[in-house]
Amino acid sequence: MTKNTRSARPAARPQATRRGPTLEMVRLTCPDTAQAALISESFGLVVVDGDGIRSGHENLLVESAALLSEGLGERAMQIHLQRIVGAFVGSAHGAGQFYSRAVTEARDATAKAANDLRDEDIDGPVGFTGNAQRKREFAADMGLQAYALRMAAEGAVAAYEEIVGQAWKPFDRPMDNPGQSLDHKATEVQMAAFG
């Protein structure tokens, strides 16, 4: 009788990773300089100094790295800056996504308000703004915030490249239990709530 011997080690599965947002993703969701200027002009809002925000954040990180250079080695500096730049890019990406949702809601409300047969979407009394106008103004505010954070992220990415000498890339995080389904996780959380 022959025995089949199997390896004691299980076959290694590739580790599933979750990629963080990139600067390109930020650029796709946040307004650019021309669009931010148009929003400011159309809604009578302050013009955001995007170039000042970008260069200010770039200088801030370069100066910070210079102060830390005595205490951190090259690899430690790279890891530290990777985290900081990732936070800037992640914040801008989140703001860009929120802005996109606000624009969608403003468009929907404006389209509904244009329908003369819908009483619930009619503007309020004279002197008060209607729902659609409030949503457009909110989307404009969110657009300028997303633009400001985009410029801060661009400055941080430029500083990373200047300090480290290579282009910034988001960190690929390993996923917790990638084989475990979302339904299974939800079930565990729900059951844990019962004590």
Looking at residues 161-179, what average pLDDT do you find? 78
Report the C-alpha dihedral over residues 14, 18, 23, 28, rounded to 10 degrees. 110
pLDDT at 3 over 80: no
Pairwise pLDDT comparison (70 vs 178), residue with the higher score: 70
DSSP category for residue 17: E
The residue to which tokens 């565990």 are assigned: 188
Query: Two tokens at 119?
Result: 């009483």
Q: Is the pLDDT of residue 98 over 80?
A: yes
The residues near 86 (Cβ < 8 Å, ≥ 6 apart) are 20, 170, 171
Distances (CA, A) of 58 to 15, 121, 165, 171: 34, 46, 14, 20
Please give the pLDDT value at position 147: 97
Residue in 153, 163, 168 with CA at minimum distance from that of residue 72: 163
Q: What is the pTM of this model?
A: 0.74
DSSP 172: E
pLDDT at 43: 93
Answer yes or no: is pLDDT of 130 > 90. Answer: no
Mean pLDDT of the chain: 84
The predicted model gives 57-83 an average pLDDT of 93
The answer to whether 146 and 29 are in contact (CB under 8 A) is yes
